[in-house]
Amino acid sequence: MSETGSIEGLIQIARVLKSNGVDGELLLGFRDIDPDDINLKEPVFIEFDGLPVPFFILSLVRKSSSKAIVRLNDINNLEDAEEVVGKAIYSPEENWEDLEEELPDLEGWTIYAEDGTKLGVITSLEDIPGNLCINVETDHGSVMIPLHEDFIVSTDTDSRSLTMCLPEGLLDV
């Protein structure tokens, strides 16, 4: 185990915040990832006696952008659940490497509305857990916009432009 609390080859993706109910359900708090990005076919790991023990996620119900109620195999009652409260949840690093590589460096990209109107220029990315945002410098000041796939209409890497359909009032500063 390294000084940062990680286990070699694994990264911490969540922490067990508390038990939930009497059937072994757990409330997990996720860090730097979206609960929806978890591959339910791959195990997650909890450290016991210095060793990573694999668990499969049987169910995951998202409660917010960074929390979910989760059922793990072999955690079937309140007593089992209480034993893992406060423990870190790990996942193999390779499960998350591709996610980071998908996103190009967006600093300096120009944001356009669907009608072609220039909205501003991206000055930085803000990695808020479960909610990646971009800081955009507009004619009226700086504004933070969630970089959500529902808002993205198209991207053009050659012209370094991003066309977005943003909810009304989001650009108000």
Domains identified in the chain, total number: 2
Higher pLDDT, 99 or 83: 83
Instruction: Report yes or no on 122 lying in a domain.
Output: yes
Strands 88-92 and 110-113, bridge-based pairing:
unpaired
pLDDT tens-digit readout, 49-68: 888 999 999 999 988 878 99
pLDDT at 95: 59
Lowest mean pLDDT among 62-76, 105-119, 138-152: 138-152
Structural domain harbouring 142? 110-164
10 backbone dihedrals φ, ψ, rounded to 5°: -125, 150
pLDDT at 103: 59
Of 96, 169, 132, which is closest to residue 122 (Cα–Cα)? 132
Q: What percent of the chain has pLDDT over 70?
A: 88
Do 119 and 157 share a domain, yes or no? yes
Do 20 and 60 share a domain, yes or no? yes
pLDDT at 57: 93
Do 149 and 118 share a domain, yes or no? yes
Higher pLDDT, 93 or 108: 108
Do 16 and 81 share a domain, yes or no? yes
Instruction: Report yes or no on 58 lying in a domain.
Output: yes
Do 96 and 114 share a domain, yes or no? no
- Is residue 171 left, alpha or beta, with left meaning phi > 0 and alpha meaning psi from -120 to 50? alpha
pLDDT at 3: 34
Of the residues 101, 126, 155, the one at which a domain ends: 101
What is the rounded average pLDDT of the residues 14-31?
Answer: 92
Higher pLDDT, 125 or 61: 61
Instruction: Report yes or no on 4 lying in a domain.
Output: no
Beta strand segments in the chain, E: 10-20, 25-30, 44-48, 51-55, 57-62, 67-72, 88-92, 110-113, 118-128, 131-138, 141-146, 152-156, 161-164
Of the residues 72, 101, 130, the one at which a domain ends: 101
Structure token digits, residue 46: 């909890």
